[in-house]
Amino acid sequence: MSYQIILNMILALTWMFLTTSATGSSFIIGYLLGAIILYLFRRFFDTPFYLRKVVAVFKLLLIFIKELFIANFDVFKTILRPKLELKPGIFTYETSLKKDWQITLLANLITLTPGTLVMDISPDNKTLYIHALNVGEISEMTDGIRNSFERVIKEVSE
């Protein structure tokens, strides 16, 4: 994948020299043209097209921002109620992620979302112990994590 990035940079620089314009916009045009060329010749590379991972990282960022706003709104509604009706609790989440950085990223994304906190990770790195401010249906909560954060983390690491 890294050689695709380097090759794309070389194509962008070549475009700049061929057009005799050493400007940022010329580089960006050359970079985009290089990305199109690399995409067209992707079958000749032994690794997947590198911009797939970039798109997956942006997708993860957008999902995190969406979940952050939803969780902030839920915590805000809970705080403004005259009578607090909280059901705090701890539940376990079984993850299928294998690498340490994936599990760390998942734990940090869950912890950064208001109202949830990863308290501990089992020694075999399979189970996360999560404290939630308002525990509803646990299967819905685990499915939400699995279908949002965990799925996109797998896309990034493929």
Please check whether residues 78 and 108 belong to one and the same domain: yes
Alpha-carbon 115 to chain mean position: 20
Please check whether residues 78 and 28 belong to one and the same domain: no
Number of domains in the chain: 2
Taking each helix axis from N to C end, the angle separating 100-112 and 51-80, rounded to the nearest 10 degrees, works out to 30
What pLDDT score does 46 carry? Answer: 82
**pTM for this model (two decimals):** 0.76
Q: State which residues of the chain have pLDDT below 70.
A: 1
What pLDDT score does 8 carry? Answer: 87
Which residues fall within 8 angstroms of residue 44, CB to CB, at 6 or more apart? Answer: none
Please check whether residues 102 and 78 belong to one and the same domain: yes
Residue 67 domain boundaries: 52-157
Q: Across the strands, what pairs with 94?
A: 127
